[in-house]
Structure 1
Amino acid sequence: MASHNGVNRLFGGTGGVVDGHVHLWDTAAMRISWFRDDLGLPPRVGPGDLARAVATSPVPVRAAVAVQAADTEGESRWLLRQSAAHVPLPGPVVLQYDARPTEPDAWAGMAQAVIDDGATAPGVAGVRLAVPGGAADLSDVAGLDALCEGLAATGRVLETLVRPEQLAAVAALAARHPTLDVVVCHLGLGTGEPDASWRDALAAVAARRRAHAKLSGLFTTSRDDAGRVAAAARAAVDLLGPERLLFGSDWPMSARVAPYAEIVGRTAAALPPLDDGAAAAVWSGTAERLYGAATRTSPAPRG
């Protein structure tokens, strides 16, 4: 892991990290469709667990963006309650998109009722499209353009969890909705190889000025991981610039690979040299701008 001094320098005097990607869940309180005992994950992870994990970070973590783990309304309301009750962690919430084809007014799908609820709407910073197993052109996602229109109109972010072959479709989506902030989780790569085809696809996304990406979900237990992740991080900085990148730990998924402090240190080591302003953007500024600054109390458009 990088030394404390090295990590501190890389932070650029930000005063702390905003972690752009964490998860919370409670399998006793709601069903998490993908959760299995053999995944090696705890059945419950709450804000207290997160606080204990981030306390080990070599630089303080002062806020985090909680991304919904599954796709039910009950879970989304639970997550928002956790967020509201524990300030400054976890912070803003990103809900999952689950289309409602029989409800034409529900542009946010499952999340619509939560977004329309005046008590919970301010906590919703965005909606995530998690479709890495879907069609390469995203043609199997119902209501996708309506979702983008609704998010743009209400000052929220579209997150995408996609595989490299789907990045071209994300670029096309961003082109159709130029006023929408789009964030690609895990660089659209995850634990894959940062080859030329991925780089070309990320370049197409980067050509859209309101496209962003998270430096998250990249690490494995492989001894050769450092070079692969450094190559991915370098390409992301070259293509998007630090002001359109943000750190995300992907905790507690990442805890299966390494403790929280080590994920921070590995990310610091993977990044190319950055000046103070660039470092501040990656570690906190981009996340604050995307998830913390927009006013989210205006009613959502209908129809």
Structure 2
Amino acid sequence: MNRRNFLALAVGASAATGLSPADRTEDTAIPVIDTHIHLFDTDRPQGVPWPTKKDGILYKPALPDRYRKIAVPLGIVGAMVVEASSWAEDNQWVLDVAATDKIIVGTVGNLEPGKPDFRQQLERFQRNPLFRGIRYGNLWEHDLSRQLANPRFVADLRFLAQAGLVLDTANPNPALLAAIVRVTDLVPDLRVIVDHLPQMTMPEAAAARKTAEADLQALGKRPQVYAKISEVLRRVDGTIPQTLSFYKARLDELFDLFGEDRLLYGSDWPNSDQWRPFHVGLGLVREYFNAKGRTVAEKYFWKNSVAAYHWQKRDPSQPG
């Protein structure tokens, strides 16, 4: 991707600079809930479906103790674990690992609506209050658009909503946006969280771009739809810009679309290691949201995540 196309087409935000001691003191006064991390153990006897050895830097255990050492010094007090495995029993593995460290305030699992055992499995996992929902989109060779023609799939989404759980969805593209609009038409009381929206590249064709923009506008008007400002760093012409000025225009667009009450912070750790060190992405969004005042920054960094996920406070350092 070149700089011109990025500025014209990408939705971006979350890079930045080191913080001075004064900045770091001010920033960490607002506790942070990270709504998007992944846990896996590449050393398990059974291995993992992701990452693979080909993923290089990612292929090593990503467990709470490693995350804690990075996150806590930066003012992060809690994290949501989002699925990184298509294996059903890894829902339980994540819950078991989460139980060992109070920095984990919730999990988002991987179950398939429409499958005969979906409701049984959902009821099994939601007995654990850390289990806050599922993720389904265009990951693991799924197709949300196609599944919406399946009455059983839609009925299971209604069951998910009735349980008070959420639907995370990724990775964003025009087809997924259109599908999310349909989901929220069919199941209006389901809370939906769009992961990694800043990574999306808008279509170049005028008609397709207009449709995608209309779908974003529609989602921005639906109070049950949240957007994660996550996975925002972009590689452009072989470099990764680290200044807010490069990303600000698209951050402004997302803020205008979803408002101060429906944007969430997510690091996408350890996937974020492919871009820049953890503090770089956090530093950029801190710079952006702190400039909007403490009230807005608190919403982005933790209050909106309570409304979206209803996560579990497990430690006195955690707000709420």
Determine the structure 1 residue equivalent to 2:277.
259
Following TM superposition, by how much is the alpha carbon of 1:48 offset from its aligned partner in structure 2, in angstroms?
0.4
Following TM superposition, by how much is the alpha carbon of 1:245 offset from its aligned partner in structure 2, in angstroms?
0.5
Following TM superposition, by how much is the alpha carbon of 1:140 offset from its aligned partner in structure 2, in angstroms?
6.9
Determine the structure 2 residue equivalent to 1:51.
68
Determine the structure 2 residue equivalent to 1:65.
80
Structure 2: stretches of 5+ with no match in the other structure: 1-16, 313-320
* Aligned partner of residue 196 in structure 2, secondary structure: helix
Alignment: residue pair count: 282
Determine the structure 1 residue equivalent to 2:41.
26
194 and 259 in structure 1: CA distance in 2 versus 1, 3 angstrom threshold: farther
Query: 2:135, 2:23 → 1: CA distance?
Result: 33
Alpha-carbon contact 1:2-1:269 (below 8 Å) kept? no
Which amino acid is the alignment partner of residue 63 of structure 1? G
For the pair 1:190 / 2:190, whether they are aligned, the reply is no
Return the structure number with greater relative CO, CA threshold 8 A, min gap 6: 2
Structure 1: stretches of 5+ with no match in the other structure: 295-303
Query: 2:246, 2:156 → 1: CA distance?
Result: 34
153 and 97 in structure 1: CA distance in 2 versus 1, 3 angstrom threshold: same
Determine the structure 2 residue equivalent to 1:154.
163
Counterpart among 169, 174, 180 of residue 170 in structure 1: 180
Counterpart among 279, 283, 292 of residue 301 in structure 2: 283
- TM-score (normalizing by structure 2): 0.77
Following TM superposition, by how much is the alpha carbon of 1:31 offset from its aligned partner in structure 2, in angstroms?
4.1
Query: 1:136, 1:99 → 2: CA distance?
Result: 10
Counterparts of residues 6-155 of structure 1 (less than 5 Å): 6=23, 13-14=29-30, 16-29=31-44, 30-40=46-56, 41-57=58-74, 60-87=75-102, 89-99=103-113, 101=115, 103=116, 106-107=118-119, 112-113=120-121, 115-116=123-124, 120-131=127-138, 135=143, 137-139=145-147, 143-155=152-164
Determine the structure 1 residue equivalent to 2:268.
250
Determine the structure 2 residue equivalent to 1:299.
none
Hey, which bits of structure 1, 4+ residues long, moved more than 6 A? Answer: none
Alpha-carbon contact 2:48-2:85 (below 8 Å) kept? yes
Deviation by residue 1:44-66 (Cα, 9 ceiling, x = unmatched)? 11110111121342xx1110000
* Aligned partner of residue 73 in structure 1, secondary structure: coil
* Aligned partner of residue 51 in structure 2, secondary structure: coil
How high is the sequence identity, in percent, across the aligned residues? 22
Alpha-carbon contact 1:214-1:245 (below 8 Å) kept? yes
Query: 1:134, 1:116 → 2: CA distance?
Result: 23
